[in-house]
Structure 1
Amino acid sequence: MFILSNFLLAVSYTLDIALEIYKWIVIISALVSFVNPDPYNPVIKFLRASTEPVYRFIRRYIPTVVYNVDFAPFIVILIIIFLQKFLVPTLQQLAYRLS
């Protein structure tokens, strides 16, 4: 069972790092949207390509634009924080109980 325990620990740490990186991508994308950047810039293309599918999914179920302010990045960040505080520790506790 120690192999499954180690696997779950590795998954939880990797998931935590991936969620943290994506949270910063969302924050940077939201900040850049205030300055009307060049849409042909490769960094801007990357930011839009990595965040717009998630924003579209959120906007499909929740109307997020109020007074021309888009709350989709805020909702995504809240979901990421929830996953970091609930899912990652749950996986770690499960791994520790299996060992």
Structure 2
Amino acid sequence: MPFLASIIMGIAKLFGLAINIYTMIVIVAALISWVSPDPYNPIVRMLQTLTEPAFRFIRRLLPIRLRMLRIDISPIILLLFLTIAEAVLMRLFHMAAAAIVAP
């Protein structure tokens, strides 16, 4: 495998790892939101800092009827988006590496 293809695959793995870590953060934040966490806990603050901007963006895009539900579906939508984004990015990186190996 040529050197450039190895670099591309390494970058792909880093992107995949970053998406997987953020997916775990979203899951933990969603699970913690079911209980009444201490808002001054540093872990809770970190989770909110990392996830709340994405949740807020998704909530703004939701129709009013879905925003009125008692359950917040923004983590579910974000997890779906992350899963699709990871699959698409991995496919693109693999295609780029394959194009370099066999021009």
Task: Tell me the equivalent position of 2:90.
Answer: 88
Deviation of 1:66 after TM superposition, in Å, equals 4.2
Instruction: Select the structure of larger CA radius of gyration.
Output: 2
**Percent of pairs identical after alignment?**
34
Name 1:33's counterpart in structure 2: 33
Instruction: Report the structure, 1 or 2, having the larger strand content.
Output: 1
TM (norm. structure 2) is 0.85
Question: Which residue pairs with 2:47 in the alignment?
Answer: 47
Alignment of 1:1-99 (within 5 A): 2-63=2-63, 64-99=66-101
SS in 2 for 1:67: coil
RMSD over aligned Cα atoms:
1.5
Determine the C-alpha separation between the residues in 2 that align with 1:66 and 1:92: 41
Q: Distance in 2 between matches of 1:67 and 1:58?
A: 14
Distance in 1 (alpha carbons) for counterparts of 2:60 and 2:54: 10
1:70 alignment partner, SS class: coil
The structural deviation recorded for 1:96 is 2.1
Aligned partner of residue 33 in structure 2, secondary structure: helix
- List structure 1 runs of 4+ shifted beyond 4 angstroms: none
Unpaired runs of 5+ residues, structure 2, are none
Name the amino acid aligned to 1:70.
D
Could you tell which deviates more after superposition, 68-77 or 7-16?
7-16
In the aligned structure 2, how far is the partner of 1:35 from the partner of 1:90? Answer: 39
| AA matched with 1:80 | L
Give the TM-score taking structure 1 as reference length: 0.89
Unaligned runs of 5+ in 1: none
**Count of residue pairs brought into register by the alignment:** 98
